[in-house]
Chain A
Amino acid sequence: MRKLWVITIETYLRQVKSWSFVMLVVAPFLMIGLSFGVGFLSANSSQSGNKIAVVSNQSTLRDQFIKENKDDIKKSISSIKAAKTAFKDEQIAGYIVLSSDSHQVSAIFHGGRSLESNINTKLDSFLMQQQQRLNLINAKLSPAQSNTLQQQPQFKQIVQKKTGNAKIARLISFWVMVLMVYMILITYSSVTAQEIASEKGTKIMEIIFSSTSAYKYFAGKILGVLLVILTQLISYGIGGWGSYLIAQHASFTKEIVAANHALLDKVVSNLLSINLVYLFLGVILYTILAAFSGALVAKAEDASKAAQPAIYLVMIAFFATFPFQNNADALVVKIMSYVPFFSSFFMPLRIIDQSVGGWEVAASLVVLVGSICLLIQYIGGIYEGLMLQTDDSSFWKRFKRGVSYH
């Protein structure tokens, strides 16, 4: 076990210390950070230019309006002179002069263009309320009459969330899932195959196999790569959660997040399900295949070619799902959801579509896990032969000789 972990840890550390891994993990967050930063800056700069000032001979009236609209108003400007200067310097979009006597509330907006519609609406509503208050006072009505006049109509919205976004959530979940599986498999099939092929190309295998068994080496390499994938997924999970929390509170995203909260919840719950098991098992299966193809390469220079069989298979499985994104009940999807190498794409499609029973998922998982065990057993057994073949003969010759090495 100790040697297995030595190989696992060495593989893991070598990968996570590489610049390519750091970039792989950091790049999406850099992109998000960049988008947030640009969004924040543009929102900030446009906001400060779009703000208006409010001046009034009645401080209570001004304070009340500012209190209700603090995001749109530059509070520090309180005199007409200061407002004129600020407008001239383009620090504000304009200014409102509020005034009131015992009968009339009035407002005059001075600006380069019309008042923005949202603040215009708010101003209308504010003036209406203030005017109504004055009118009630001047009408000298009894409390009962006053209450009657203040009676408002009622309007309620009842939205059936489930029917509203379930289909969109399924579609988003499908795309996120298959793209995630595809990207991870493409990346790590390549990483695994190259890692093993380049090691084989250095001819160090005889030294390693004089210290430990080929089976342990093979298992150690696979475990090492899986730890790297797990590290990446955890980093994405933590980073994604952090980004979500920030987006919930950032002024320029909170409205979008709040409006799509139910949809986001549904997508996350679709992803954080048995689908993750399929993702993980799929990664194991393809990693084994990649390790196998890496072992068939003769020279370190050919390491990049080593990943090709695994990558082609990933691509075939990935693109094969496309025609069925809205037709998860098709017979082909049903069959493919049991076939190893394809089930990691097709079964999640059916699970997201909610068109599969629990026993079908269980049967598919049994087939997948069984295939992984058999493949590990078989490849682990012939691995020494494959890795010690370093002559530059044809692929099939090396394969044949590797299989019958002993």
Chain B
Amino acid sequence: MLAIQHLSKQFGTLKALSDVNFTVAQGEIMGLIGQNGSGKSTTFHSILNFLKYDGQISWNNAPITEAVFDEIGYLPEERSLMPKLTVEQQIIYLARLKNQSAKLIRPQIDGWLKKFSVKGKRTDKIKDLSKGNQQKVQLICTLIHRPKLLILDEPFSGLDPVNVDLLEQAIIEAKQQGTAIIFSSHDMGNVEALCDRLLMLKLGKVVLNGRIEDVRNQFGKDRLFVTTDWEEQRLKQLEHVVEVTRLADKKYLLKLDDPVAGRAIFHALTQGDYIEEFSQQAPSLDEIFRMKVSDQDA
């Protein structure tokens, strides 16, 4: 288990992280979200010992030392490989730095290239691959030594939908094998689809931390999806409705200032008659993210 306790980091006068606490258990995926400059990469760099920090970071109750590095797979935000090496040389070099033997890794390479649909051979130079394929090779380098802790900094950025699916599949497989996974993303859809837990940072402070469902429910079920013959103007006049958004013909999203008002609105809309759709939901992660970003007190 990765355990972060009271993690703080200061750069000069800038407080990059303030008393950050979280854990990621084996077989668990945690999404780290926050705006640019919120402290996500600083958190990763602290875990990887790139920085000196205040607080404690441990992996399976022991401090993170070079010996632990062999159990970590890290994909940095800026993608990069050594352009003059071949695909095979690159994968083997980085795997050997993770204490893997070339003999063990070499026979696996073709399988991984196929799994990630890399268009290129193991003998191709990295510089001759397309950017997308280079990105896939880097992912293979991150995963091939079967890490027990996977740290992915913006892993989905720059990937097309097909490759997003491939990466999601690889992350799920790693989770099933018991890997503790922490990744940062700006796409709340990925976080919602993959993560068991999330942690949101704002100016280095934790503003959200918990299981996805718990976080969403913290905000109450203040959204109503309805399909009705009522006009938008009429819907706005309903008590406790603060905002109406037209999603499609006759389909609206109503935001409430009090989730309890849902029942009264249901009665007002249906008046005992059939209604095509009425669904009361918690806000999406995307909405929660925007809410928290704009929240001055958070």
Contacts and interface: CB of A to CB of B under 8 A. Distances in A.
Nearest to B41: A206
Nearest to A220: B97
Contacts of B83: 202
Contacts, number: 58
B94 interface: yes
Given A3-B99, A202-B81, A406-B51, A207 B93 contact: no
Nearest to B84: A14
B98 interface: yes
Contacts of B66: 212-213
B69 interface: yes
B97 A202 contact: no
B82 A202 contact: yes
Given A207-B76, A384-B50, A212 B97 contact: yes
A168 interface: no
Interface residues of A, number: 23
B141 interface: yes
B297 interface: no
Contact of B97 (A3, A14, A390, A406): A3
A384 B48 CA distance: 12
A207 B50 contact: no
Chain B: interface size category: 20 to 34
A16 B83 CA distance: 17
Interface of A is mostly: helix
Nearest to B77: A206
A233 interface: no
Given A2-B99, A199-B82, A203-B76, A210 B51 contact: no
A118 B160 CA distance: 86
B249 interface: no
A206 B74 contact: yes
A6 B93 contact: yes
Interface in B60-75: 66, 69-70, 72, 74
A311 to B, nearest CB: 23
A209 interface: yes
A204 interface: yes
Contacts of A6: 93, 96-97
A204 B50 contact: no
A239 to B, nearest CB: 28
B69 A204 contact: no
Interface of B: 48, 50-52, 66, 69-70, 72, 74, 76, 78-85, 93-94, 96-99, 138, 141, 151
6 shortest interchain CB distances as A-B pairs: A211-B97, A203-B80, A210-B74, A206-B76, A406-B52, A203-B78
Interface of A: 2-3, 6-7, 10, 14, 199, 202-204, 206-213, 384, 388, 390, 405-406
